[in-house]
Amino acid sequence: MGKNLLIAQSGGPSSAINAALSGILMEAAKSPEIDKVYGGIHGIYGVISHQIADLTNQIRTAEEFKLLETTPGMALGSCRFKLPPLEKDTKVYEKLVEIFHSYNIGYFLYMGGSNSMDTVWKLSRYLKDKNEDIRVLGVPKSVDNDLSGTDHTPGFGSAAKFIATSMEEIIRDSEAYPINSVTIVEVMGKESGWLTAASILPHHFGENAPHLVYLPEVPFSMGQFINDVQEAMKKERAVVVAVSEGLKFSDGSYVAQSREDENGYTSVGQVLERALVSTIGGKIRSIVLNVLQRCSGHLLSAADVIESRRIGTFAVRNVLNGETGKVLVFNRVSNSPYLINVETVPVEQVLSAGVKGFPLEWISPENNDLTQEALNYLLPLINGEVEYSCKAGMPVHFRFDLTPCQPPKTEP
């Protein structure tokens, strides 16, 4: 008799995480070693409170798998929950083992970003220490692309494609009027500039815009920014600027917070817009791309979806092959032709390396543009379009039946 597989999702939503889930479910259905497939509802937080749904055979047709792959958000629900340090408190670990036993879980795949990989690390270590034959692998996901140990993360390519496409469309919009203007586009990425970097992709397609780009890896200077914009305006009628939401001044304070008052949050775009209005004047506007970047299921990168599905299938094969305490990663073998290997690395290796920032050597000496290497890295990740099902003009989304189920009855 086989064991059961538990899957859960955690961290910020992304539009490719369900494609990885699709790959897991496809491979699990083909694997005789796996009896049932369970889904933890709202991540490890749900697992702890017995919020576990039976996913076995919920998806049967190719059409349903495709629907799941083009559904944004987290099909199993997410959480932001960190397990306590093993040295301090083992109660929650004991409870998890008890639940794993009651559902006869032999394999646990946890999908998410660095917090989820922290869970993979702690839990796999605890299970090994207790000699439990329950294997845990991490399936990474991050629109931010700031996880170490992997060439890129599932979800980044689709977010990058949305940003690049939106940027190109905003460029078209900005050109309309015969007047000087500045359009500031604020892109996600509190800790790293990968997503903001994606906004330069229109350069590869003959656009001069965006004319300036600022990443959080470099301290931001308001004086230099205003000067850069003034210089750009000498050459261009409609100047377009891409900025990261995570921009910081040299003292480490966020630009977005610098004008915050009792009224609450002010975006980077608004701070820069106000700075330009009070110095340069004229038509200045700021646009925040916001969560659409991570949930635009109607504009997915085919490369991202295919790779996400693939990392899901590999996760099942690797956990069945005996691996535990590891993370699935992409290794870029070559850029042209674009070749990716799916591999595993020990989870502690990913965690100890910390946030993977955008390479400083891919930022121009003026700190307001990126190099050809950056374009070469980004281009394969947005390649290809994904068809999605529509009904009466709207995308169709997939929904699991997430009714919590009882543990299976143990045989007498």
Q: Which residues are catalytic?
A: 144
- Decide: is 170 part of the binding site for a copy of itself (CB under 8 A): yes
Q: Tell which positions 81-100 bind a copy of itself, by CB under 8 A.
A: none
Buried b or exposed e, range 12-32, using 16+ CB within 10 angstroms: bbbbbbbbbbbbbbbbbeebe
Q: Per-residue x/- marks for a copy of itself, 291-330, CB under 8 A? A: xx-xxxxxx-x-x---------------------------
Q: How far apart are CA 380 and CA 134, in angstroms?
A: 37
Q: Per-residue x/- marks for a copy of itself, 365-404, CB under 8 A? A: --------------x--xxxx----xxxxxxxx-------
Residue 255 or 289 with smaller CB distance to a copy of itself: 289
- Decide: is 334 part of the binding site for a copy of itself (CB under 8 A): no
- Decide: is 66 part of the binding site for a copy of itself (CB under 8 A): no
How many residues touch a copy of itself under the rule CB under 8 A: the total is 68
Beta pairing partners, 181: 238, 283
Q: Is 356 exposed, middle or buried (0-12, 13-18, 19+ CB in 10 A)?
A: buried
- Decide: is 50 part of the binding site for a copy of itself (CB under 8 A): no
Residue 77 or 140 with smaller CB distance to a copy of itself: 77
Element (H or E) spanning 169, and its range?
Answer: helix 156-174
CB of 378 to a copy of itself, least distance (A): 10
Tokens of 288: 């925040």
Q: Is the dihedral of CA 121, 122, 125, 130 positive or negative?
A: negative
Residues 6+ apart with CB under 8 A from 392: none
* Backbone dihedral angles phi then psi of residue 24, each to the nearest 5 degrees: -60, -45
Among 169, 208, 317, 406, binds a copy of itself (CB under 8 A): 169
Give me the residues that bind a copy of itself (CB under 8 A), please: 12-13, 15, 42, 45-46, 71-74, 77-80, 161, 164-166, 168-170, 172-173, 175-178, 201-202, 204-205, 259, 261, 263-266, 270, 273-274, 277, 287-292, 294-299, 301, 303, 379, 382-385, 390-397
